[in-house]
Amino acid sequence: MIRYFASLFLPEAHPFTVARSSKWPAVAREHLRLHPRCELCGGTKQVVPHHVFPVHAYPERELDPGNLFSLCNANSCHFLAGHLLLWSAWNPNVVEDVRDWRIKIMTRMTKGPLRPAEMEIRRQIMENDERMKREGL
């Protein structure tokens, strides 16, 4: 049973791994240069480019910048939002879900004033929202 619960939270290889284009590393680096923060939590640790439409199902979209969305592994945002807590699953509504969750995070009720770290996360989320508006995402 412990192994089952650990498997929910420990990253593992994606079960539908496919051969990647030799151009993928450059595309991934460029995406992370332009979008270095996790779109859900605003963090900058272990951020990865997530394919909205997965490569195993849509190989022609592997290098499409419009199919990439920054999520982090540090806070499990990639696992939660991108894969809905199951690595073999994918979330076709990841962009909309992340926007909805960010609004919930920004407007949640708190007991007392926000701590500096919470204020920083809100500031980062607001910056990401403004950037996404400017870029038409």
Q: 35-79 pLDDT, tens per residue?
A: 999 999 888 999 999 999 999 899 999 999 999 999 999 989 999
Instruction: Quote the mean pLDDT of the chain.
Output: 82
CA distances from 129 to 14, 16, 72, 123 (A): 29, 31, 17, 10
| pLDDT tier at 4, thresholds 50, 70, 90 | very low
> What does the pLDDT read at residue 131?
77
Those residues with Cβ within 8 angstroms of residue 54's Cβ, 6 or more apart along the chain or in another chain: 16, 90
| Per-residue b or e along 31-54, where b marks 16 or more CB atoms closer than 10 Å to that residue's CB | bbeebebbbbbbbeeebbbbbbbb
Assess whether pLDDT exceeds 50 at residue 112.
yes
- What pTM was estimated for this model as a whole? 0.69
Report how far residue 106's alpha carbon sits from residue 125's, in angstroms, rounded to the nearest whole number: 8
**Listed residue (106, 100, 35, 96) closest to 71, CA to CA:** 35
For the segment 10-18, the average pLDDT, to the nearest whole number, is 53
Q: How do beta strands 68-72 and 47-51 pair?
A: antiparallel
Most confident of the ranges 19-33, 92-106, 113-127: 19-33
Whether 22 has a pLDDT exceeding 90, the answer reads: yes
Token representation of residue 55: 């490569």
What is the residue whose two structure tokens read 């499409």? 64
Q: How far apart are CA 91 and CA 40, in angstroms?
A: 14
